[in-house]
Amino acid sequence: MALIIALVVALACHVQAKAVFAHFMVANSQNFTVDNWKEDITLAQAAKIDAFALNMGYGSPYAGQILNDAFTAAADLDFKLFFSLDYSGDGHWPQDQVITWLSNYTKLPAYYKHNEETPLVSTFEGYEAQGDWVNIKKKVDCFFVPDWSSVLPEKLAAATVADGLMSWNAWPDGTAAMNTSMDERYLSVLKSSNGTDRPYIMPVSPWFYTNMVRYNKNWVWQGDDLWYTRWKQVAELEPEYVEILTWNDFGESHYIGPIHEHDLGTFVSGGAPFDYAVGMPHDGWRAFLPYVIDEYKNGGDGSSTIESEGLVAWYRLSPSWACSAGKTTGNTASQGQTVLPPGEVLTDAIFFSALLESAAEVSVSIDGKLESVDWSDTPDGDRGMYFGSVPMDNRTGEVIVTLTRDGKELTRVAGQPISTTCGNNNMTNWNAWVGSNLTNLSAGNGSSNGTSTKSGAAAAWSSTRAELRGLLIPVLIVWLGLGFVL
């Protein structure tokens, strides 16, 4: 019995809790102060995000001070950070520089550690430099989980220098629905015959529109229902890690963090024809993260606490036919995709999602014309996440999405008007406007800050329950194995 207890304790010490990261573009924080870092970190913590993956290109003259401020703020707030070295933007990272940066920062208390033991390091691309990591890992203790999505996962199976793999395939192709086929391919190649599977970082993203002349980037990928659909897929697959793409990549329109207007220089440096992030908040996409992240960590059993019911709505501010496409394509030939008109990839519709304790009705008003709308997807037992949409149908004007229950208004999102007036050099802004409104169940007060949190006791129990679930199978295996011996 003492041996069994010892083995159970040893297993408990090595169970890796699930975690959610957000990809953070360090280049978009050149004007950050420690207080700016604390602002963003506090918002990430409220959304139950566990760490920022710091994307860094080689040779940034500002990186040292930025990172010092970031790690100072993270340590003060008990938040975690880790490096995601970008091999695509400014070129190859020399391995001696990688060793220097890792040596300087991985020992800090705010650096994220896999299994709470080994510093986690990721990349954006850099497959051609995989040989460097044999030497890097000899010099610096680290757990290496790169994103090498330019190479098919079956080929990456032989890359034994990688302790796990990340994928960047977070968007569907053209008009196809988002599926998990690529995630499943990664999970398959990471499986081991001895049961010690290498971890997978599954990507999740809400949107993609970029128009950067300098980088020859001008396309959209399908967003529409992506944020809602992808989190359901996360709960189904239960990967060890999830990474949100991104916290602050304004140039690709998939940010979920706040817009700092003094850090939108990417539109100038990238040669964008206009700033398509200003006035287009995405904070609402964080509103339900506490719930969906708990669902992922709890195994999707529907037991996660709902402290705030609420509503999130998102849509583009002009129909696809109203203004010039700005030479933007749906899909891109640079990724080997079939190019489509952007208006075929993105739907002219208003999308909305609700988090509810029980069923409620939804209605949408455009320019004062109200209509009731059926939900497209509802949760089992009427408790949890709801989703729906309504076509624009060439209508313009102010948008109001309203939730009601038993004839009483629960909450509403009053959004920006849809217009056919063409600004932005007569170009369509293919980015999304996102709004949210929450109602605290205990106080009954509406809030539009896009955040909700669990009580400390509830959060602690959720974490404990998830850990116990993760321990159950290995403990039974140990018990049965020893039973045969005894």
CA torsion, points 278, 216, 219, 92, in degrees to nearest 10? -90
**pLDDT tier at 91 (50, 70, 90 boundaries)?**
low
Q: What is the mean pLDDT of the chain?
A: 88
Where among 279, 298, 317 does a domain terminate? 298
In a domain, 314, yes or no: yes
**pLDDT tier at 441 (50, 70, 90 boundaries)?**
low
Distance CA 211, CA 168 (A): 19
Per-residue pLDDT tens over the stretch 135-160: 999 999 999 999 999 999 999 999 99
pTM of the model as a whole: 0.88
Distance CA 55, CA 356 (A): 35
In a domain, 468, yes or no: no
Same domain, 190 and 271: yes
The CATH number that applies at residue 385 is 2.60.40
Same domain, 124 and 236: yes
The CATH number that applies at residue 160 is 3.20.20.80
- Does the pLDDT at position 453 exceed 60? no
Per-residue pLDDT tens over the stretch 400-433: 999 999 999 999 999 999 999 988 889 999 999 9
Mean pLDDT, range 362-388, rounded to an integer: 95
Same domain, 34 and 180: yes
Mean pLDDT, range 258-265, rounded to an integer: 91
Mean pLDDT, range 318-341, rounded to an integer: 95
Question: What single-letter amino acid sits at 48?
Answer: K
Same domain, 228 and 332: no
**pLDDT tier at 194 (50, 70, 90 boundaries)?**
confident
In a domain, 435, yes or no: yes
pLDDT value for 187: 97
- Does the pLDDT at position 133 exceed 90? yes
Same domain, 270 and 349: no
Domain coverage including residue 436 = 308-440
**401, β-bridge pairs:** 364, 413
Per-residue pLDDT tens over the stretch 217-238: 999 999 999 999 999 999 999 9
- Does the pLDDT at position 483 exceed 50? no
Per-residue pLDDT tens over the stretch 169-192: 999 999 999 999 999 999 999 998
In a domain, 87, yes or no: yes
Same domain, 29 and 89: yes
Mean pLDDT, range 89-109, rounded to an integer: 91
Could you tell me the CA-to-CA distances from 182 to 178, 234, 338 in Å, in that order?
10, 13, 18
What percent of the chain is predicted at pLDDT more than 70? 86
Question: What single-letter amino acid sits at 472?
Answer: L
pLDDT value for 485: 38
Where among 266, 298, 330 does a domain terminate? 298
Which of 36, 198, 58, 46 has its CA nearest to residue 114? 198
Which of 189, 218, 183, 214 has its CA nearest to residue 201? 183
**pLDDT tier at 6 (50, 70, 90 boundaries)?**
very low
